[in-house]
Amino acid sequence: MRLVKVASYYNAALDYYYMQYPQVKDLSYNEQLSHLLGFGLGWADYYAKALRQLGWEAYEIVANARPLQQAWAKENNFQGNETEIVLEQLRSLNPDIVWFQDSISFEADFFEAVRSLPTVKLLIGNSCAPYSQANLRAFRTFDFLTTCSPKFVNEFSEYDIKALLLYQAFDPDIVNHIKPSEKKIDVIFIGSLIIGRDYHNERIDFLRHLLRSGVNLRIHANIVGSRPMDIVKKQILFVLRKILDSTGLSSLVQNQVWYRKSLALNEFPQLKFLGKQLRKNIKPPLFGIKMYQTLSSAKICLNQHGTVAGPYAANMRMFETTGVGTVLLTDNKKNIRDLFIPDEEIVVYNDFNEAAEKIQWLLQNPEKAKQIAQAGQRRTLQDHTYLNRARQLTQEIQKYL
């Protein structure tokens, strides 16, 4: 079977990558793709490698890596926009199965066009983030969705959308690409700070509290939506869309880019400020192998899920942290014991005060912290690999073929 996965990376991650390696834009498509995947952004080609181990043919398309996609179009004498390039790439690869890791950036009509390709037998989507009603309409074009949280499985079921719980994972080969390093950083947070009720407002408050309490916390964060003007623009979009919808005029602008962007706004955007102390302590975001290297040099990695996760543990940082052998201190969730044993493989907290206390305890008990880190790494390298997740995915696929 031949599976093609279509991904989109964070724009900030791609900007970071191309700033680090501007010369890569002059390479051929295959050379660019190999270099980008080797950089280790997101899922990279970890699923493709795992699927090949299971005897499948697997390919990757990174839809929003513009220099990469332009190289493919040039080499194949194709002219079209970004979406049209992806469709033409899929047509050329003759896939049996197409799996959209990014199911948010495309519309239902595009997914239907992919389904109509002559070789496509199965269309799979993926979602583990806030979604809009427009996204739900697109999700219904898939045979099933993969998702990283039981919360989304339950929600999609209410919409009669089939979903497979496929937790995030770690590629053991990453360990071979980072150098052994001394644990010089007491506590680290690496991640995004996206303003919005469904995103990281609580995370922002949490980090501010820790800094005020005197925790020696190093923060590397990608900040999204903190500028007042950005919020005001979203507020205008939200109000304008509501007016058009209520007057029946939205059909006149439904294909406009600004209107499609407004569909992602499920509520009136609120202003929220980071505060001076937090903002001055935020270092530039880290991505790829450098992120893993820095994470491995920390004694403790602080993790807090976004509001959208609800009562469930779901994010990648849990597996990235344990995978590189750093103690994971994460918010306690109802399914955490399905993934790790608290106080043996990871450490959990229920509120800010408990988190601060456990940080202090771990720093004062380095041997115990080391034991927990090693146990967490063993668990991840045994149970939470992309190979195990790929086995789960292929078993599900077989039900539909």
- Per-residue pLDDT tens over the stretch 112-157: 999 999 999 999 999 998 888 889 999 999 999 999 999 999 999 9
Query: What is the arithmetic mean of pLDDT over 270-295?
Result: 85
Q: Residue 42 has what pLDDT? A: 93
Mean pLDDT of the chain: 91
CB 72 within 8 A of CB 85: yes
Query: What is the arithmetic mean of pLDDT over 206-226?
Result: 85
Query: What is the arithmetic mean of pLDDT over 4-27?
Result: 96
CB 190 within 8 A of CB 220: yes
pLDDT tier for residue 71 given thresholds of 50, 70 and 90: very high
For the ranges 56-60, 131-135, 236-240, 383-387, which has the lowest average pLDDT? Answer: 236-240
CB 297 within 8 A of CB 181: yes
- Asked if the model's pLDDT at residue 98 lies above 80, the reply is yes
Q: Residue 344 has what pLDDT? A: 98
Burial of 203 (0-12, 13-18, 19+ CB in 10 A): buried
Cβ neighbours of residue 187 under 8 Å, at least 6 residues apart?
215, 216, 217, 218, 298, 299, 300, 301, 302, 329, 359
pLDDT tier for residue 272 given thresholds of 50, 70 and 90: low
Instruction: Report the alpha-carbon distance of residue 93 to residue 3 in Å, rounded.
Output: 9
pLDDT tier for residue 240 given thresholds of 50, 70 and 90: confident
Q: Residue 227 has what pLDDT? A: 56
> For the whole model, what pTM was predicted?
0.88
- Asked if the model's pLDDT at residue 78 lies above 70, the reply is yes
- Asked if the model's pLDDT at residue 330 lies above 80, the reply is yes
CB 39 within 8 A of CB 289: yes
Instruction: Report the alpha-carbon distance of residue 329 to residue 160 in Å, rounded.
Output: 36
The pair phi, psi for residue 124, each rounded to 5°, is -120, 140
pLDDT tier for residue 264 given thresholds of 50, 70 and 90: low
